[in-house]
Structure 1
Amino acid sequence: MSRQPEEAPAIPGQDGIDRRQAQWRAELPDVDTSGMAILGRARWITLAARPPIEAVFKAHGLDSGEADVLFTLLRSGPPYRLRPTELFRSLMISSGGLTDRLNRLTKAGLVRRAAAEGDGRSLPVELTPEGIRRATAAFREDMAIEAAMLSGLSQDEQGDLARLLRKLALTITGTPPFD
């Protein structure tokens, strides 16, 4: 018969990861669970942060994949145009996945395919005026929500955390994230 983990009473300043680590220390004291303290929390934070962010996108008639495409085009600057290969490399998705997103965004009137100057074979993707408006509004709202989520940390703490996460990302992947 397996024993059910007894949920330890909550200790102020501790979370479920702390309780899980305590359980593992009791069960397998020779195993280092320090990775859980960081990666487990990173996963939990990502899962907790997604619903309010995705609600912003939904309020603007977008899903997160569509928002990624619009935001990538918007941050590229005027004329808000990129080749499909530049887009799918930046978004880290397959060309087929990008095609589906582009078809939905084109149908919604948020992007269009325009022939490149001097190259009739290439069809860059560019934001329409409505695409620029909607992407700008959704991004501003998204960043406001993310800032509110981080409001429990001082500016210095946010900077330290960003620096440490960058270092961790480079350690894990060996390359800068989203390069």
Structure 2
Amino acid sequence: MRPAEERVAAGDQDSAAAITAQWRRERPDLDLEPMALFAGLARAYQLLDGRIDRMVARHGITRGMFDVLAALRRAGAPHRLTPTQLSAALLLSGAGMTSRLDRLEEAGLAVRLPEPADRRSILIGLTRKGLALVDRMLPELIGIQRAALGIGTAKARDLTALLWVLGEHLAAEGD
């Protein structure tokens, strides 16, 4: 019996495992490993996502706000990007970015600054408070992710490498 069937037989009606087991029962002629893989990835993401959202909320911000702070922090000193650069880094529309920036500015975590090279443009920068917050939150985020792995460092590295290969293949395939 495969892991999905074992889980369903044991009474675990997790949707990903149940769906895969049902398809294996109904269509044993098909290789369902790709479906099982992507269902497993989706389930892992969903389970981890809630943990991260709760951690971020404990710090008084939303996940979207944290994503902006993290993008600015990753940019390096002086921790400034244009709204277009931020939108591209977060795959977010201009309207969605404006809302996040308004909330970050109200909280004193980010600031809109004039772009010295182009008076028609602005830069978004981290404030000291924003920098301190993202630097406090990052180790906590990594801790949540590390605890969720449960597979050890070597296997985590192998899985990461395989997922990078998968991502590159999907990117090369296009739409």
Please give the TM-score of this superposition, normalised by the length of structure 2.
Answer: 0.86
Bigger proportion of residues as helix:
2
Deviation at 1:23? 2.7
Which ranges in structure 1 are unaligned for 5 or more consecutive residues?
1-6
Shift of 1:98: 0.5
Q: Secondary structure at 1:174's aligned position in 2?
A: helix
Moved over 6 A (4+): none
Partner of 1:144: 143
CA distance in 1, matches of 2:157, 2:146: 13
RMSD: 2.0
Amino acid aligned to 2:119: G
Range with greater deviation from structure 2 (124-133 or 140-149): 140-149
Identity, % of aligned positions? 34
Checking the alignment, whether the CA contact within 8 Å between 1:17 and 1:36 is kept in structure 2 is no
> What is the 5 A alignment of 1:20-169?
20-150=19-149, 152-169=150-167
- Give unpaired runs (5+ residues) of structure 2: 1-6
The one-character-per-residue Cα deviations of 1:92-124 (angstroms, maximum 9, x if unpaired) are 011111111101111111100111224322210
Q: CA deviation at 1:160?
A: 0.5
Contact 1:111 1:127 in 2 (8 A): yes
Counterpart check, 1:9 vs 2:4: no
- SS in structure 1 at match of 2:122: coil
Residue in structure 2 matched with residue 4 of structure 1 by the alignment? none
Preserved CA contact (<8 Å) 2:8 2:17: no
Q: Tell me how many residue pairs correspond in the alignment.
A: 165
Q: C-alpha separation between the residues in 2 aligned to 1:119 and 1:25?
A: 60
TM-score by length of 1: 0.85
CA distance in 1, matches of 2:8, 2:77: 55
